Amino acid sequence: MLRQSASLLMIYLKGQWGKVTVLIVLLVGSISLELIAPQWLGRFVDDATAGAALSTLQLSAVVFVLLTVVRQVFVAVAGYVGEDVSWAATNRLRIDLTRHCLELDMSFQHEYPPGVLVERIDGDVSTLSEFFSTFVFNVIGRVLLSAGIIVLTFVVDWRVGALLLCFAVMVTVVLRRLQGISIPHLRALRQTKSDLSGFLEEQLVSTEDVRANGARPYVMWRLSRHLDELVRRTRSSRVASRVFSSALEVSVAIAGAAVLGFGAVLLQRGTMTIGGIYLAFYYTALLAQSLTSLTFQIDQLQSAFAGMQRISALYYRVGAVPDTGTERVADGPFDVVFDRVRFGYNRERDVLRDVSFRLPAGESLGLLGRTGSGKTSIARLLCRFYDVSGGAARLGGIDVRELALGPLRSRIGVITQDVELFHASIRDNLTLFSDEIADEAIVDAFRRLGLHEWYTNLADGLDTVISGDGRSMSAGEAQLLAFVRVFLHDPDLLILDEASSRIDAGTERLIEKAIDRLLAGRTAIVIAHRLSTVAKVDHILILQDGAVQETGARETLLNTTDSRFAAMLAEARA
């Protein structure tokens, strides 16, 4: 996992090495200045106690201030370059992650609810971006500074250097333990936050159903459970960090006192000057400050590591539907064959069992069956949102698994029961934000589908904005828009999952007329909830519990008195 995360980092730092080098030069420069500047303070103290001339003292003071100013300039420029590197790298990562998630199969979409994906693509990547921009200075910089301080104190007096080295080793051991203890708490905290946002997303999307079914108390109960968990996780992760940083503070105080005491002894022996003691104490304080800042950064470092691991798990996740096919279906309408297809969403249960049928090119098939009998699953297999567990689905004589995914899906138009509409104009909803489709083509599509009159009643024509997430449209109107959307896309295979909700007679007539025109010249599968919808299809397939109960030409079944289809029609008429 660590290797995966590291290789992911390398991918996104590629092309940024020039800036990273500038960052390293600025970092080394600023650390050197931070180490050198106090030397002038030590010299100032020694010169002052030796009664040196005022100009000598002034020179030391001016050099100290100058070095400090230059260092701050380095820090500011490095901050700018660090942000630049971090945003360039992480924005590319955001884009690639989003594309990857959109391409992954449906079982992935069920496993990661929208809230969790938002947390990965935005939350975790933001943490990573902060990590990039502050990590170099606050962690690597502090580590280098600490090492430099120990080397320099060794130069001043090896015994003081040894003292600081012991102190640094002790603190590093504490830091390592802190890392081991805090990471699981931080990981759990992040997971809890992501569960909470997933839960909120889920509830907000289904507000209407929640209210209508009186499920509000249950939602509030689950929310309070999530919040309790959040409090528990936050508390434990904060406590784990605080206990160790307090231990660090205490050790810092002890080290400062030891350096001063030891320096006093050396002063009495005449082996150390007051300036030297001052410098050693200054470096001890700087080392303490640097190690303390490291401790605080550990939190961020750890959450960046945890986030990085989650991001790389998502980034390297291989879809259950591999896009390895290279074949393409010949132009024009094609036939659809199901050859003893077996399929289940999980290993426990097959929802399609030995389903076989052949739909000739340019003809239509009405799929009937009780709810849950497997009709939608057939459509999903054709679009390869899932792969069959046994048998084969073939389009134009080619197994769908041998077809390249992009071209395959571009040949299929799907109209689902829940049409997805965006908070955007009718135009954008129909063209899916593409500006390659002219307004005339859209209006022509309305006309050819027999929907021109309905279109002219739209308040602002194509500029009419659909509010919310499409809730300003009824199920029937949403389907009409979906028809136009698909018509513009001009697919060779049309899959229509008819809206099961009640639609008024006027809209139903519009829908029927539009379906007639939409079906012309295409192979079509109509998943029908009303028998009237299949009145004009060429073939019928009735499913029962995932198996074919009856299939044949509609006319033939209609005229066969003991057919299931004829019985269904009779039941509907009664």
Residue ranges that bind ligand ATP, judged by CB under 6 A: 110, 345, 351, 369, 371-377
State the minimum distance, in angstroms, from the CB of residue 373 to ligand ATP: 4
- Decide whether 529 or 536 has the Cβ nearer to ligand ATP: 529
State the minimum distance, in angstroms, from the CB of residue 377 to ligand ATP: 3
What is the β-pairing status of strands 523-527 and 364-369?
A: parallel
- Decide whether 273 or 377 has the Cβ nearer to ligand ATP: 377
- Decide whether 3 or 349 has the Cβ nearer to ligand ATP: 349
What's the rounded Cα separation, in Å, for the pair 417 and 344? Answer: 21
What's the rounded Cα separation, in Å, for the pair 502 and 238? Answer: 54
Q: Please, which residues have CB within 8 angstroms of residue 144's CB and are 6 or more apart in sequence?
A: 27, 28, 31
- Decide whether 78 or 540 has the Cβ nearer to ligand ATP: 540
State the minimum distance, in angstroms, from the CB of residue 527 to ligand ATP: 6
State the minimum distance, in angstroms, from the CB of residue 344 to ligand ATP: 8
State the minimum distance, in angstroms, from the CB of residue 528 to ligand ATP: 10
- Decide whether 87 or 345 has the Cβ nearer to ligand ATP: 345
State the minimum distance, in angstroms, from the CB of residue 386 to ligand ATP: 8
State the minimum distance, in angstroms, from the CB of residue 546 to ligand ATP: 7
Count Cβ atoms below 10 Å from residue 420 Cβ, excluding itself.
11
State the minimum distance, in angstroms, from the CB of residue 118 to ligand ATP: 21
For residues 517 and 370, the answer to whether their CB atoms sit within 8 Å is no
State the minimum distance, in angstroms, from the CB of residue 316 to ligand ATP: 24
State the minimum distance, in angstroms, from the CB of residue 565 to ligand ATP: 16
Sign of the CA dihedral 152, 157, 161, 164? negative
One-letter amino acid at 335 equals: D
Please list the residues that pair with 497 across neighbouring strands.
527
Owner of token pair 């308040």: 459
- Decide whether 248 or 341 has the Cβ nearer to ligand ATP: 341
What's the rounded Cα separation, in Å, for the pair 32 and 30? Answer: 5
- Decide whether 115 or 369 has the Cβ nearer to ligand ATP: 369
For residues 291 and 168, the answer to whether their CB atoms sit within 8 Å is yes
Count Cβ atoms below 10 Å from residue 398 Cβ, excluding itself.
18
- Decide whether 351 or 515 has the Cβ nearer to ligand ATP: 351
- Decide whether 322 or 372 has the Cβ nearer to ligand ATP: 372
- If we measure between CA atoms, which residue out of 300, 458, 404, 229 comes closest to residue 395? 404
- Decide whether 67 or 367 has the Cβ nearer to ligand ATP: 367
Q: How far is CA 386 from the centre of its chain?
A: 21
What's the rounded Cα separation, in Å, for the pair 397 and 380? Answer: 18
One-letter amino acid at 433 equals: F
Beta strands in 378-419 (DSSP E): 390-395, 398-399, 412-415
What's the rounded Cα separation, in Å, for the pair 551 and 469? Answer: 39
| Three-state secondary-structure class, residue 348 | coil
Count Cβ neighbours within 10 Å for each residue of 86-124 and write b for 16 or more, e otherwise.
Answer: bebbbeebbeebeebbeebbbebeeebbebbbebbbebb
What's the rounded Cα separation, in Å, for the pair 529 and 543? Answer: 13
- Decide whether 46 or 201 has the Cβ nearer to ligand ATP: 201
State the minimum distance, in angstroms, from the CB of residue 324 to ligand ATP: 23
State the minimum distance, in angstroms, from the CB of residue 380 to ligand ATP: 7
Q: Please, which residues have CB within 8 angstroms of residue 1's CB and are 6 or more apart in sequence?
A: 309, 312, 313
What's the rounded Cα separation, in Å, for the pair 127 and 186? Answer: 13
What's the rounded Cα separation, in Å, for the pair 389 and 414? Answer: 23
- Decide whether 9 or 101 has the Cβ nearer to ligand ATP: 101
- Decide whether 78 or 116 has the Cβ nearer to ligand ATP: 116
- If we measure between CA atoms, which residue out of 138, 144, 139, 131 comes closest to residue 33? 144
What's the rounded Cα separation, in Å, for the pair 556 and 178? Answer: 76
State the minimum distance, in angstroms, from the CB of residue 374 to ligand ATP: 4
Q: Edge-to-edge, what's the strand order for the sheet holding 398-399?
A: 352-359, 336-343, 390-395, 398-399
